[in-house]
Amino acid sequence: MVWCRKCKAAQLDYTVKKEIMFGNHTYLSGMTKTLDDHFARLAKEVDSAFFEGVEGKSALDIGSNDGTQLKHYKSLGYDVFGVESSKAIAQIANERGIKTANEFFNLEFAKRQGRKFSIINASGVFFHLEELHSVTDGIRLCLDGDGVFVVQFLYMKRIMENLAFDQIYHEHLLYYNLLTIERLLALHGLSMFDAYLSPIHGGSIIGFVSHGGKREKSQRLLKLLKEEEESGCNELAAYHSFAEEIKRLKERNLAYLKAKKSQGKRIFGMGAPVKGNTLLNYFGVGPETINFLVEKNPMRKGLFSPGMHIPIILESEVTILPDVYYVLAWNFKDEILKNNRHLLAKGIEFYFPIDPKEV
């Protein structure tokens, strides 16, 4: 990860071509109740704030995945349209009645559509963009004059506070704070007018964007911007401090795993999220320590974790229980603990290598 002295944005200095990275990915946004519930709440919040009772309202979702976000807008009376890069996942969305184009959204795609939308949504995709400026221009072109662009992104300030270094990986090309995303939007005639910090994924910003000059900045956005400035999170010194804290986090985790193995404990990983591979590879933890990664997503059955090559099995395939679940999908901590109360009652330990602070 590198840091730009000019715009102060943290970003990766190497890009895997989007067609390779996202043309056949296996992430399904509808797999967790936490995320589904979040999307349902957000759709109702956006509709009641801006478009309740409006005729002919419409919603475009960029990186719409299996249509989980759009299904909630559809239930509120929106004409919905998704754009999803993975052919298999776009097919899942279409089969569920969510009209979805299997393409990459950019300015050229926006021009071909030739239509405006009341709401444009980007959930956890705005930091994935290889064609960053083309996509942002496309959003401006497709956004109705009074429309709202709802952008949801991992908050770099929060990543630092949580020591969630595993959220830095090849798919995430940019790591935004409010200062840096506003600088990007301003280059394209857009402006964020409201935002708040959500607990989803350990701490994400839900930002509301309009055409430049259309809406005044809210007090809660101004408060967040002031907190950013006071924290120094946009300065290089914050990143040096972050790096040192990550080294100490590694030492604590390796000491824990070593102690459990010396006690003869069987350790499984809970979940096989992409971010887990940043953690496993940096920690140097492989199948000699963690026997399996246990997944709910059937698209990951029979795969291995990149780099450390830990085999992935489905929950239904677990025949011998571990003594410890090392939880890589820590961003769904509450849901995981709730769903596994029966295992906790049996004395199985759930260890969270990243334990996010409450929002």
pLDDT per residue as tens digits for the range 225-257: 999 999 999 999 999 999 999 999 999 999 999
Is pLDDT at 192 greater than 70 in this prediction?
yes
Can you tell me the mean pLDDT for 156-167? 97
Q: How far apart are CA 330 and CA 326, in angstroms?
A: 9
Is pLDDT at 119 greater than 70 in this prediction?
yes
Q: CB neighbours of 341 closer than 8 A, spacing ≥ 6? A: none
Residue type, 109: F
Q: CB neighbours of 119 closer than 8 A, spacing ≥ 6? A: 46, 50, 51, 57, 58, 59, 60, 73, 78, 147, 148, 149, 150
Can you tell me the mean pLDDT for 162-175? 95
Can you tell me the mean pLDDT for 321-339? 94
Q: CB neighbours of 255 closer than 8 A, spacing ≥ 6? A: none
Q: Check residue 359 and give its pLDDT.
A: 65
Q: CB neighbours of 6 closer than 8 A, spacing ≥ 6? A: none
Q: Check residue 229 and give its pLDDT.
A: 97
Q: Return the percentage of the chain with pLDDT > 90, whole number.
A: 87
Can you tell me the mean pLDDT for 105-112? 96
- Sign (positive or negative) of CA dihedral 291, 296, 299, 305: negative
Q: Check residue 143 and give its pLDDT.
A: 98
277-294 tens-digit pLDDT: 999 999 999 999 999 999
Q: What is the pTM of this model?
A: 0.91
Q: Return the percentage of the chain with pLDDT > 70, whole number.
A: 100
Q: Check residue 326 and give its pLDDT.
A: 98
Higher pLDDT, 358 or 327: 327
Can you tell me the mean pLDDT for 304-315? 96
The mean predicted confidence, pLDDT, of the chain is 95
Q: CB neighbours of 49 closer than 8 A, spacing ≥ 6? A: none
Cα dihedral: 8, 12, 14, 19 (round 10): -110
The helix (H) or strand (E) run that includes residue 192 is: strand 190-198
Buried/exposed 2-33: b ≥16 CB within 10 Å, e otherwise: ebeeeeebbbbeeeeebeebbeebbbbbbbbe
**pLDDT band at residue 299, thresholds of 50, 70 and 90?**
confident
Q: How far apart are CA 124 and CA 41, in angstroms?
A: 16
Region of poorest pLDDT, from 25-34, 109-118, 172-181, 323-332: 25-34
54-70 tens-digit pLDDT: 999 999 999 999 999 99
Is pLDDT at 356 greater than 80 in this prediction?
yes
Is pLDDT at 27 greater than 80 in this prediction?
no
**Two tokens, residue 185:** 């939007």
Is pLDDT at 109 greater than 70 in this prediction?
yes
CA-nearest of 240, 157, 169, 154 to 204 is 154
Region of poorest pLDDT, from 40-44, 177-181, 252-256, 315-319: 315-319
Tell me the domains of the chain and their CATH numbers. Answer: 2-234 (3.40.50.150), 255-351 (3.40.50.720)
Is pLDDT at 17 greater than 70 in this prediction?
yes
Conformation bin of residue 320: beta by default, left when phi > 0, alpha when psi is -120 to 50: beta
Q: How far apart are CA 267 and CA 283, in angstroms?
A: 15
Is pLDDT at 25 greater than 80 in this prediction?
no
Q: Check residue 186 and give its pLDDT.
A: 97
Q: How far apart are CA 155 and CA 166, in angstroms?
A: 13
